[in-house]
Chains A and B, each alone.
Chain A
């Protein structure tokens, strides 16, 4: 792993090894990150990226190995020690106190004395300086929960810089951002790099790696498999390194052949538990043989829309028709009987009971089907046989229907849900985040199944926060912003156009 770099290294990891019980999360990792560079680390879920960064930030101790910062060996026992050697971390789920002000969040842990009054003044001044130096503008007196997600992330970055971080680790920073917000973040990161900060970017989005990093390292199954200069590699090569085999990055699909309208939504309004309107007067149709994608940044009402159609959440007004029949008040089981299958957004909360064995989950919600038993009794043999067939067809690993669902990887758990819903041969399929937390190999597989459903004449409604996924699967794209559908585009619409619509700027 010798890259001839003119700059001195900011971080060197030598022989880092970490085991959690039987799981070998990091195997003899060596990594050198040059000072003043943006270094990407990519890998599938469970490849060990997060563990490695947690070791660097003092959340875990490595079993073996050495960490050197600017050439000096250091021991990082906790976050305090990481901060002391100049490492700052921007977590994927922001570590912010939501009802505190920006200033209070920045000061937390670095208050500068027992009493707050003294620290507040100097913190305010320092924030102003950081804002001027790096273009990180936020209102120091703003309450976190009232700020847009992009600003919240800037607060996370400010927190690290306020503590004097020279090395910034960003964990999947763009997952929650709109494309314009992500562009803004990248601009900030470039400024930081040009001012001499070292940045480590952890992501699974290949395009981001290509767009912003100087160097990229690929992890697979706990090992560091390659390090490349970004300018000298390609997306295809990186994907292959990540997965360990060639993968198709683009879904191949023919033209759609839409038929009759199977599902329509008219003037649907849905409120959340606090009474806030999340879906605001939304109307659209989904036809047989087409995939309609709903694009939008998380939290703009897509989840509530999906839940309303699936019969989980009661709309406050408006109507939903399936096959022309109004289905208001029909429960999820009734909707299933009408031919509606639902792959929920969050498999852990809604799709699966993690403590159940695989075969139990593979019929969850269809337990009244006479194939799986009579009256109050379940026919376990029939269920297991059925599960084994799905396991074979969907290549679910390990192929053991008696294994607890929690012990499957994210991709395989998702396949269990997908198999359960698709194998019922529904007329309509509504899918939320089909590939969230799923590795590339399984993404390719799930995408193919979705296209097959469309080609078999099913109506498919797809909600995803991954714009790439929406663009590559959908025949029509609806963009949601603040609970409304702000526009419709064809499946070929450009990322720029959609991005602006998702941010509520253009329609």
Chain B
């Protein structure tokens, strides 16, 4: 294999690895731009992965699996909202609690229903999202440079991958071109301005959490019935946190979010590729170094080395009317 083939294969794997990050980071984008910190993304992703695997296993239909994933994720969003919007609880505490609930509940229910040590049963092929070969992929394969790129990176992905990339311009359009987006961004910056304009702050924030739950449901579904064929214990494995890091790294903006997720996905793919291989001069590099890179990059950003990241001003603060 020459270097170009290696690069193409890493790139293809990078795209696949970045999809759950992208859905989750966009979910975080909607809730955080509305002023709700969402550390519970990890838990939502895990819970929806479990739900999608269960439903797909029982029904043998991938789309029902997706609906199940989205449904559970939205339920988690409502719990988060009830704690942190209606009852003005601490958003971080509520999010962390949801992560624990998801981690525990998926194992307990999985064991009770499937008796495979927390795994769900193997989802049949029709219950999964399989790869789509785009027209002309085989014909293009031999064209230099563009050919392999088209055949191995752009083509050959499942439908959720294309939806994920479609969600980027849609998210941008919703945030910046619609009334809903204007109000959502406003409520994350100065809820007082929204309230005095006669708009309900609580309902705006609930709606943003519903959108976040919806997007996060895709991420979980992707993990369990697109990337694999069953739910496995703790299969989100910290991706929710990496997605949050990507969101911060992208300064809470849709297109940079996509680029950050691709970068983090690429680092992950590169780490996989480098496993056990030795680099010239340096020797074998521990894989953990690459895995830590997203967090290191985010820390560097937060420390102010790559411009300043300015979070939504009202983020994390429950809204109370002043007396």
Contacts and interface: CB of A to CB of B under 8 A. Distances in A.
B300 interface: no
Contacts of A111: 179, 182
B182 A99 contact: no
A110 B197 CA distance: 8
Interface string A91-103: 1010111111000
B179 A116 contact: yes
Contacts of B183: 108-109
A169 B180 CA distance: 28
B190 interface: yes
A324 B133 CA distance: 82
Given A111-B179, A115-B178, A79 B189 contact: no
Contacts, number: 73
A117 B177 contact: yes
A147 B197 CA distance: 21
Nearest to B310: A99
Nearest to A105: B193
Interface in A112-149: 113-117, 119
A339 B197 CA distance: 51
Interface in B272-323: 313, 321, 323
A57 B199 CA distance: 14
A91 B196 contact: yes
B198 A98 contact: no
B313 A98 contact: yes
B239 interface: no
Contacts of A82: 198
A109 B194 contact: yes
B125 interface: no
Nearest to B179: A111
B187 to A, nearest CB: 9
Interface of chain B, main secondary structure: helix
B179 A115 contact: yes
A115 B198 contact: no
Contacts of A96: 190, 193
B198 A97 contact: no
Interface in B155-214: 177-183, 185-186, 189-190, 192-199
Given A78-B198, A97-B186, A108-B194, A113 B313 contact: no
Interface residues of B, number: 22
A345 interface: no
Contacts of B186: 97, 100, 104, 108
Contacts of A104: 182, 186
A181 B76 CA distance: 50
Which of B180, B182, B183, B185 has the most A CB atoms < 10 Å from its CB?
Answer: B182
A97 B196 contact: no
Contacts of B193: 95-97, 105, 108
A80 B179 CA distance: 17
B179 A95 contact: no
Interface in A57-83: 57, 59, 78-83
A81 B196 CA distance: 11
B119 to A, nearest CB: 45
Which of B179, B180, B323 has the most A CB atoms < 10 Å from its CB?
Answer: B179
Nearest to B180: A114
Contacts of B182: 104, 107-108, 111, 116
Contacts of A377: none
A168 to B, nearest CB: 14
B323 A95 contact: no
A100 B198 contact: no
Given A108-B183, A109-B197, A114 B313 contact: no
Contacts of A51: 323
A335 to B, nearest CB: 31
A363 interface: no
A109 B190 contact: no
Given A114-B178, A116-B177, A116-B182, A98 B190 contact: yes
16 contacts: A57-B196, A79-B195, A79-B198, A81-B198, A95-B193, A96-B190, A98-B189, A98-B190, A100-B185, A109-B194, A109-B197, A109-B199, A114-B178, A115-B178, A119-B179, A159-B197
List 5 tightest A-B contacts by C-beta distance, closest first: A109-B197, A80-B198, A95-B193, A79-B198, A111-B179
Interface of A: 20, 51, 57, 59, 78-83, 89, 91, 93, 95-100, 104-105, 107-111, 113-117, 119, 159
Given A78-B198, A83-B198, 11 more contacts: A51-B323, A57-B196, A80-B199, A82-B198, A108-B182, A109-B194, A109-B197, A111-B179, A115-B177, A115-B178, A116-B178
